[in-house]
Amino acid sequence: MRRTMESPCSQPPLPVECLSRYQRSKMPNLVFLLILLMPTMSSLPAAHCDDNNDDVGFHLTLTHVDAGTSYTKPQLLRRAIARSKARAAALQSLAVASSPAAPVVDPITAARVLVTASTGEYVVGLAIGTPPLYYTAIMDTGSDLIWTQCAPCLLCADQPTPYFDARRSATYRAVPCRSPRCGQLTYPACFQRVCVYQYYYGDTASTAGVLANETFTFGGAGNSTKVMAPNISFGCGSINAGDLANSSGMVGFGRGPLSLVSQLGPSRFSYCLTSYLSPTPSRLYFGAFANLNSTNTSSSSPLQSTPFVVNPALPSMYFLSLKGISLGNKRLPIDPVAFAINDDGTGGVIIDSGTSITWLQQDAYEAVRRGLVSAIPLPAANDTDIGLDTCFPWPPPPNVTVTVPDFVFHFDGGANMTLPPENYMLIASTTGYLCLAMAPSGAGTIIGNYQQQNLHVLYDVANSLLSFVTAPCDII
């Protein structure tokens, strides 16, 4: 069952340290490496409690990880699809490892998989500490931990901003082992009464360090009020590796208790992603600013809502109940079991901001492919240039008229996510192919951000509801 976030002051101290002696003994590498940092950590006072503002609201800019680079459009698409493949594989391995049937493993091995994610697609700006140090971090709806790289850094990845130095912040507080926040880590560890952590993000990144509380600063641009939020728990990483996509850490927006959305309150956020590869940045809205009422600009595109589904094996993920798919007015013959969560926690349908293209369960993908081959009067082909395999030569001959139908996801509650052709088809290469921006998955389905462009999507975590509406994301 999902654990709801409460103020640490409202909970009694844990009767023992975060882990048993046996469990702590399974994480020696982290503890020994952190010994060098203990003079810095032990000199810091214990965490204190101060509830966050329930009326907080701000908006931020979301920048694509490849924005401002010199890659060509085909190169950008290849990079996005490669990242998407890595993330899909990570999320699938996460589901398998989290299932009740999975073999019991030691905490380090489990942590490598149970917190698996991968490099995301968008970065967001924020500030940490007093005085505030501004930096960028990857936004990830598939994980929970907020973390940045900290000095002194034993092992750190390249980043565009200085490492955060806790010794220069007046509001930094290491989290004690007996704090409920420490117990909310997937696999916490303790050393000299300080809570330490170790997270792995597939094969692309990892972080280990001290769990601490700090003041974070958000917003301040445009008509957004600058918000300072005290006592946000984050990972102060001094042992990090991997690709941070020209950022300085990660911000988890999952449903778990340590994510930003769970800690900050109120538990709602939304984003509006501009057209893929557009130079115009996207927008992220939080709290009172996360409201879809003003974005419904067309009577033909009403606001739609569908409930989130809890997968006990992966309670932090945003699962949805998908009932079927249509191409135009034609409902495709897909057994609904293709979208169901299996008894072992695998399968199901996730909506994710950190995956580029959509990954459809194999049977559903084959049905979509057959539907497109039937609807588009052109010979089907594989475009191995970027790795998509449902493609058509483009542009069509002068004497051939092609009408690409809309693509519709039908969700529980009667919500229909209607995608115009530009949201699920793309021009794949300089050789000229029109390709389905989706790929087959041997496990579950992941609805990626390419399919979410020019939709304003609201995650109402408190009420377990996803809402969305068509919107001009480049001007709202």
Residue 169 in this model has a pLDDT that exceeds 90:
yes
Interacting residues of 147 by C-beta distance below 8 A, sequence separation 6+: 199, 207, 209, 234, 235, 236, 237, 249, 250
Backbone φ and ψ for 237, nearest 5 degrees, come out as -90, 125
Which one from 343, 344, 352, 474 is the annotated catalytic residue? 352
pLDDT at 72 over 80: no
The beta strands (E) that lie in 38-90 are given as: 57-64
User: What local confidence, expressed as pLDDT, does residue 298 receive?
Assistant: 52
pLDDT of 110 > 50? The answer is no
Q: How far is CA 201 from CA 25, 140, 149, 205, 250, in A?
A: 22, 11, 15, 5, 10
| Choice among 140, 144, 383, 460 that is catalytic | 140
The answer to whether 140 is a known catalytic residue is yes
Per-residue pLDDT, averaged over 86-108, amounts to 53
Tens digit of pLDDT for each residue in 352-374? 888 889 999 999 999 999 999 99
Distances (CA, A) of 170 to 33, 52, 173: 26, 18, 9
Provide the angle, in degrees to the nearest 10, between the axes of the packed helices 107-114 and 73-98.
140
The per-residue DSSP string of 420-452 comes to -GGGTEEE--TT-EEEESEEEESS-EEE-SGGG
* Residue found by looking up tokens 């390249």 in the block: 158
* CA distance linking residue 71 with residue 89, whole number of Å: 25
Q: Does 352 participate in catalysis according to the annotation?
A: yes
The CA-based dihedral angle spanning residues 175, 47, 266, 55, taken in that order and rounded to the nearest 10 degrees: -160
Does the structure show a pLDDT above 70 at 45? no
Rounded to 5°, the CA angle 189-195-201 comes to 65
Q: Rounded mean pLDDT of 198-205? A: 64
Q: What percent of the chain has pLDDT over 90?
A: 47
Q: Taking residues 201-229, what's their average pLDDT?
A: 78
379 has pLDDT over 80: yes
Confidence of residue 390 (pLDDT cuts 50, 70, 90): very high
